[in-house]
Amino acid sequence: MTSNGTGGVLSHGYYFEDLSLGMEASYAKKITNEDVLAFAGLSGDVNPVHLSDDFAAGTIFKKRIAHGFLTGSLFSTVLGTKLPGPGCIYLSQSMKFRAPVYIGDEVIATLKITGLDAEKGRATLACDCAVNGKTVLEGEAVMMVARRAPRQ
């Protein structure tokens, strides 16, 4: 068992044998100014398009935007807590940024299993982040998923 960081406990997620094509999970998060500031501090990405209203006003976005990787981190939230869940290991992630995410937007990250490699114990998932039903970020993740221990 592992802590979920909020005092609760997450048990092991799905095992490879529990997965099937089409399984889906989502996570929703409203992006706050505090999130953007914290991400800038953690990542070192202090691009003023994220931090300065004056600078952002002169860009194509007209106002501050959230870091793309802050949005993309919601994929990791779903993968590590829901599908496949605790115990899975990230192998790769592709991302295509389709539209900006603004402070105050609610982002819904939805992941769906599109491939299962039984020989390697890997799951491939289509990844989508949407704001108001519009895709802002899409990609694909490949995860290593533990197998159930054989019964002795």
Delineate the domains of the chain, giving CATH numbers in brackets: 23-144 (3.10.129.10)
Are β-strands 106-117 and 122-131 bridged in parallel, bridged antiparallel, or unpaired? antiparallel
| CA distance linking residue 41 with residue 51, whole number of Å | 11
Query: Which pLDDT does position 9 carry in this prediction?
Result: 61
pTM to 2 decimals? 0.89
Q: What confidence tens digit (pLDDT) does each residue in 26-41 have?
A: 999 999 999 999 999 9
Q: What confidence tens digit (pLDDT) does each residue in 113-139 have?
A: 999 999 999 999 999 999 999 999 999
Residue 94, classed as helix, strand or coil, is strand
